[in-house]
Structure 1
């Protein structure tokens, strides 16, 4: 049995044709996807805004236990680099509030060039926490963010576990322990390579340990370029269901 606090899914709800037999024939892609998986990461919000009504429509398409993670816009993370982005943050939070209780967490992925500046990071986290009290996951990609641990704890920001690992602190959970988030891009060929069964068996054990005491624990497969993500998510779900 899979713990209700473990959310398994992909970066997006695309259904490659080879997996169609596993899913219901009827419904939108999201409805069919949500029949077997209970979590998804919305990546498109990084590139362009979605209307509140679109988020609300997606929320209406899924069951009560399904959760969305929404990626923050690149205008915040990559263009303004966390500086002076209050208006962008307000607009984004208003849009994704359409998900209601189905909003599981927000993902903030930083560019590899963005170094840790404590004053800038803290000012952004203060502004974020003034507006949003839910779960937030950070994926930093510059080694200097290893110095951010105390700040992440103070503002209840989890740091994602990332594969392939890019910095010294992203191979295991760190930051605020109130949520755990695995973000798996495919290895050795990023965005393409599938994970083998041995890797997924070990991963399943790590997720079960992380989910002790009901901590929300996410595993999102981002190896979507070749369609491997959906197969890995389904296999991981089967492994967890078998105990």
Structure 2
């Protein structure tokens, strides 16, 4: 059975949204009682101790999943080259999440062009360390051409569907059956609230996709819209599932 993983980047609970979550526990414990996943973005900026990942895993229900963003030292500084040591360190840390590691997210800088040999070697190295879901949010137009699409599909790397799309010259072309949406806020990135009609259409689209899991992460966190958008989308998906069960 497929699962809709709807959540936000991080799990901070604003006072405005607090009433939608249990009163007791840490922010993560309260968040995880309501939403089924979260994206760890802080791993992009700094390393976390293995014990921290283990504690996060222990703080969440069995069904909960984390997506973890690859460090910028790999994507933005080394630009996917000669990063075996960094990959080993990262893998050693995040594997403490155990079966709650749902995805590793690779976000590339807008200036990074697709180079077939570099990309192939990098994703092979990443796949050797992670057997589960891998997702890539590329932001240079060269990553949306036929050659890069074929490489991602061959390596089983899910192409992120981003809003607003960066570098993408045309419609979204998926590379695996699994969907990973990153909704950054539009028109004002990181700030804009998604309107009800947008979320209704998105819920209908995701509900119709019954062949694989779907991830939808709201990254419009700057003004607190992400939590409310995630809660509304999840409610719409649950309503659609309940309606489907009615005789």
Matched, 1:220 2:223: no
Q: CA deviation at 1:172?
A: 3.1
Q: Structure 2: give runs of 5+ residues left out of the alignment.
A: 241-247
For 1:182 and 1:96, how far apart are their aligned partners in 2?
A: 22
Asked if 1:46 corresponds to 2:44, the answer is yes
**Structure 1 residues 171, 227: closer, same or farther in 2, change over 3 A?**
farther
The TM-score, its normalising length taken from structure 2, stands at: 0.93
Write the distance in 1 (CA, Å) between the matches of 2:112 and 2:21.
Answer: 40
CA distance 1:42–1:123, change in 2 (3 Å): same
Distance of 2:222 and 2:215 partners within structure 1:
21
Match of 2:243 in 1: none
Contact kept, 8 Å, 1:160 with 1:170, in 2: the verdict is: no
Q: How does 1:62-73 map to 2 (within 5 A)?
A: 62-73=60-71
Counterpart Cα distance in 2 of 1:170 and 1:109: 19
Alpha carbons of structure 1 residues 186 and 170: separation in structure 2 relative to 1, 3 Å: farther
My pick for the range that moved more, 187-196 or 127-136, is 127-136
Q: Is it true that 1:197 corresponds to 2:210 in the alignment?
A: no
Structure 1: stretches of 5+ with no match in the other structure: none
Q: Is the 8 A contact 1:173 1:180 kept in 2?
A: no
Aligned to 1:161: 161
CA contact (8 A) 1:173 1:181 kept: no
Tell me by how many angstroms 1:168 deviates: 2.6
Q: 1:173 to 1:219 in 2, by over 3 A?
A: farther
Aligned residues: 238
1:57 matched to 2:55? The reply is yes
Mark the CA change 1:171 to 1:23 in structure 2 (over 3 Å): closer, same or farther. Answer: farther
Q: Which residue of the other structure, out of 110, 113, 121, is the alignment partner of 2:111?
A: 113
Question: SS in structure 2 opposite 1:54?
Answer: helix
Q: Secondary structure at the match of 1:18?
A: coil
Hey, what does 1:185 align to over in structure 2? 184
Please state how far the C-alpha of 1:66 moved relative to its aligned partner. 0.6
Q: Is the counterpart of residue 5 in structure 1 residue 3 in structure 2?
A: yes
CA distance in 2, matches of 1:146, 1:242: 35
Match of 1:145 in 2: 143
| 1:183 shift after superposition | 0.2
**TM-score where L is the length of structure 1:** 0.95
TM-aligned CA deviation for residue 176 of structure 1: 2.2
When the two chains are superposed, the root-mean-square deviation of aligned CA atoms in Å is: 1.3
Q: Which stretches of structure 1, 4 residues or more, deviate above 4 A after TM superposition?
A: none
Structure 2 residue matching 1:76: 3-state secondary structure: helix
Local SS of the residue matching 1:104: strand
Shift of 1:206: 1.9
Which residue is 1:230 aligned to? Answer: 227
For 2:213 and 2:158, the matched residues in 1 are separated by 11
